[in-house]
Amino acid sequence: RFRFLDWLPRRADRTSTKASEARERKNERRAIELEYRAERFQDMSLQLRNTIRLQQLTRRLSSLKSRKNSDPEEILKLKREMGILKKSRRCAPPILKVQGHRVTLLIPFKSPDDELLRRVLPKTARMRRAGVDRGLRHPVVLSIKNGGDSYDEVKIGREDLYKKRVTLRQRTRVLMSEIALLRNNWEKKRAMMLPPNFILKKERELEATWTKVRRIDREISHQLAAETVWFCEHRGVKTIYFEDLRFFQPSGGFRTHSWNLSTNLWGLIIEGVKYRRQALGHKFGGVWTVNPAMTSQKCHQCGKKGIRVESPGSKEEKRGGEFFYCSSCESRLHADVNAARNILKIQVKPTAVGGRTA
């Protein structure tokens, strides 16, 4: 018997309780998110139980057919129940994935159906568009254009997780340097002998540290994608435009800013947004990638080239400055927000097929 069979219903009940508490606090948007999550847990539990029950009945039917004196009525009853289960919502059979010393159970669930979405999500017109920029100081900067010249914008970041990631990456550099030095010295003196335990211990520590880095990367991408999706969903966004960073080459002089920009798993964030929006009923996820050329250098109002400055009131150019200043129209705003608005305004053909990301 699988221990996790009761976990999904318990999680659904706990999430429903949190949704009720959110409604009591008049936090409608949070309540909608929690109610959707609770319904997803219930739906996944139903799919899993139907799949396991169908496998049990199939095995039972095969056993009865192999017997000489089997009961025809029982066989007919099993076939009827199996026919009902085959038409019900079921997940694919669970898969055991082995990676090194780690074994993971994968359960491929189906996405929510239209009935679940109509029951949980409010009826909102999805007509708006959103532009998403990968900023130097904020992992995700999102801009949604309203009527006129107004925008709904948010800067999404996970500074605590990023600090842990930077610390672990620094540790990997130290370990790789130590291991290279130890192995080099050992091979010079004892080329035909296996490395000792103290070198193997360092290598195991390095492997464990990289595992932690990858786990933090997944957590960062999940949290950023989830917040991006729900910010857009509450505001009726139909299409999201991301900047295409497949061919990004960091320039010198930005220190860790360029490193963070090129190694923050931008592709995982886009894929996370895509499959979450598909689960919310958006065809192909409504995700496009566009060429980000000049989006951080042009003014979103007049289209002229501006400069980066250190503070909102400054006019002196500073490379990698946090704010953007346009001398043509005197526009001043956060540089990442300006880039997100420019991405939103790009009218050229996107670099990927509709609903797909490279």
pLDDT digits (tens, 9 = 90+) for 158-216: 888 888 988 999 999 999 999 999 999 988 888 778 888 999 999 999 999 999 998 99
> How far is the C-alpha of 213 from the C-alpha of 298, rounded, in Å?
35
pLDDT of residue 260: 56
Spatial separation of the C-alpha atoms in residues 130 and 12, rounded to whole Å: 31
pLDDT averaged over every residue in the chain: 86
Residues of the chain with CATH 3.30.420: 126-156+221-345
Q: Which residues, 6+ apart, have CB-to-CB distance to 205 below 8 Å?
A: 175
Q: Select, from the ranges 130-139, 140-149, 198-207, 237-246, the one with the highest average predicted confidence (pLDDT).
A: 198-207
Residue 191, exposed/middle/buried by CB under 10 A (0-12, 13-18, 19+)?
Answer: exposed
Q: How far apart are CA 312 and CA 72, in angstroms?
A: 82
> What SS3 state is found at 306?
coil
Higher pLDDT, 274 or 254: 274
Longest dimension (CA), the chain: 93
Determine the Cα angle at 33 with ends 29 and 35, to 5°.
Answer: 110
Most confident among 60-64, 94-98, 283-287 (mean pLDDT): 60-64
Each residue's pLDDT tens digit, 309-337: 888 888 888 887 889 998 888 888 888 89
- pLDDT interval class at 143 (50, 70, 90): very high
Could you tell me which CATH class the domain 126-156+221-345 is placed in? alpha beta
Residue range 75-99: mean pLDDT, rounded: 89
Least confident of 12-26, 119-133, 240-254, 290-304: 240-254
Give the pair of three-digit tokens for residue 319: 């490379």
Is residue 344 scored above 50 in pLDDT? yes
